[in-house]
């Protein structure tokens, strides 16, 4: 296959610090075009990396010289733009959260299948070497049967991260973000816990709240800034997921899995990113990469998975079909909180309070 000509729909922070530089490092990719609703960001990328600036994303999708697109616009637009792009014959890498409803998420997957195109979702946590190694260790039985877990993702919020920073950042508005910390961070850890344990979330109970984040006028924001969820997994493991935009200090990206033969921790011990403490007290540590944080951007590997997926035609570790399961659990958590009930996820993907 010739070089893949990639277009970027949304040239905000994630495109600027990850997707565009990661694509630029590949010799088999041409950075062909950019769209951003404030044109200046697209122009900046074009002048730095080369390629065309489009006035609308539809114009990019009509262009037969574009083979694939990276969708990294505000959450609320993910599904519509992705489906439109797939229907125009483009492969799509879409940022998380995949969509705002389960129906939209399912339609994205169905459209990719119908069109025979790759749909990947930007779940970089799956590709992190500590998480990859932890999954292998758990699979090999290093901590025995997984019994319980806790997984956390918390930092001080997205207001300084965004390429349009400030107290009124779009992440804080329901009409642009859909959900708050739950969708922004919770989707990462919901998916991660399924990835690590090899089990699906089958039952959830969730509390969400807007505790502290305020817009410039002093009003609380319209989406959640904290969520705490209880998960029951398909083989019986129980655990918690905590996500927060109000950890005003160091970021917490830790996961601890308690098994019948020992405890595995990732990013819990500052000196050892991946550690196992066996039942008999033996301590095992492993050489792995640091986690990417907002302040420490290392290569995520997401673009590599996407491009390799286009070349191979095989399903990837980030494929929309795989991520659907975690989306189900996130929407179940929303339902649980809204209705004040535990929600079961049925085998056919339905939900029952
Ligand atoms: N995988 C990850 O770890 C990760 C990390 C950060 C962001 N993201 C996701 O990437 C996407 C883009 O986020 P970002 O960090 O680049 O943010 P950003 O604020 O820097 O950029 C936002 C982008 O969305 C566009 N946009 C479209 N409609 C908008 C609206 N109504 N309000 C504001 N902006 C609008 C902007 O033009 C810009 O291109 C989001 O979906 C976010 O969840 C993923």
Whose CA is closest to atom 9 on ligand 1?
A: 95
- 4-124+302-318 folds as Rossmann fold (3.40.50)
* Ligand 1 mean position, distance from CA 13 (Å): 7
Q: What is the largest CA-CA distance in the chain?
A: 63
User: Which of 72, 153, 178 to mutate for ligand 1's pocket (most ligand atoms within 8 Å of CB)?
Assistant: 72
Q: Is 80 exceeded by the pLDDT of residue 348?
A: no
Do the strands 4-9 and 68-71 form a parallel or antiparallel pair, or are they unpaired? Answer: parallel
Query: Is the backbone of residue 198 left (phi > 0), alpha (psi -120 to 50) or beta?
Result: left
**Domain 126-293+325-352 CATH (choose: 3.50.50.60, 3.90.180.10, 3.40.50.1000, 3.30.360.10):** 3.30.360.10
Residue 176 Cβ inside 6 Å of ligand 1? The answer reads yes
Distance CA 72, CA 19 (A): 9
Backbone angles phi and psi of 169, in degrees to 5: -60, 150
Q: Per-residue pLDDT tens for 131-153?
A: 999 999 999 999 999 999 999 99
Domain ranges of the chain: 4-124+302-318, 126-293+325-352
pLDDT band at residue 288 under the 50/70/90 scheme? confident
> In which residue are the tokens 């950019």 written?
34
Q: Per-residue pLDDT tens for 176-216?
A: 999 999 999 999 999 999 999 999 999 999 999 999 999 99
* Ligand 1 mean position, distance from CA 224 (Å): 17
Query: Is the backbone of residue 52 left (phi > 0), alpha (psi -120 to 50) or beta?
Result: beta
What's the pLDDT at 296? 60
Residue 206, strand partner residues:
229
């Amino acid at each position: 296959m010739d070089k893949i000509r990639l277009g970027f729909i949304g040239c905000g922070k994630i495109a600027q610090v990850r997707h565009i530089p990661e694509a630029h490092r590949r010799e088999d990719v041409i950075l062909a075009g950019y769209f951003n609703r404030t044109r200046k960001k697209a122009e900046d990328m074009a002048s730095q990396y080369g390629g065309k600036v489009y006035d609308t994303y539809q114009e990019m999708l009509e262009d037969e010289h574009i083979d694939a697109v990276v969708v990294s616009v505000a959450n609320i637009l993910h599904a519509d733009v992705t489906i439109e792009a797939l229907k125009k014959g483009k492969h799509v890498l879409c940022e998380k959260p995949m969509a705002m409803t389960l129906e939209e998420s399912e339609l994205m997957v169905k459209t990719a299948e119908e069109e025979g195109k790759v749909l990947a979702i930007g779940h970089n946590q799956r590709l992190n070497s500590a998480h990859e190694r932890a999954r292998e260790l758990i699979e090999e039985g290093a901590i025995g049967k997984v019994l319980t877990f806790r997984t956390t993702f918390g930092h001080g919020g997205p207001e300084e991260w965004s390429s349009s920073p400030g107290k009124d950042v779009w992440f804080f508005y329901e009409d642009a973000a859909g959900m708050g910390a739950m969708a922004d961070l919770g989707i990462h850890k919901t998916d991660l816990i399924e990835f690590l344990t090899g089990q699906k979330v089958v039952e959830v109970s969730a509390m969400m709240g807007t505790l502290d984040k305020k817009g410039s006028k002093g009003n609380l924001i319209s989406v959640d800034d904290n969520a705490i969820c209880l998960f029951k997994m398909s083989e019986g493991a129980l655990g918690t997921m905590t996500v927060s935009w109000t950890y005003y200090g160091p970021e917490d990206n830790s996961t601890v899995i308690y098994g019948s033969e020992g405890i595995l921790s990732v990013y819990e011990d500052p000196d050892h990113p991946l550690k196992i403490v066996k039942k008999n007290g033996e301590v095992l540590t492993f050489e792995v990469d640091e986690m990417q944080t907002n302040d420490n951007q290392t290569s995520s590997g997401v673009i590599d998975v996407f491009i390799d997926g286009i070349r191979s035609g095989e399903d990837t570790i980030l494929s929309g079909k795989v991520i659907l399961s975690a989306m189900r659990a996130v929407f179940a958590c929303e339902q649980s909180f809204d209705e004040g009930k535990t929600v079961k996820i049925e085998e056919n993907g339905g939900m029952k309070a």
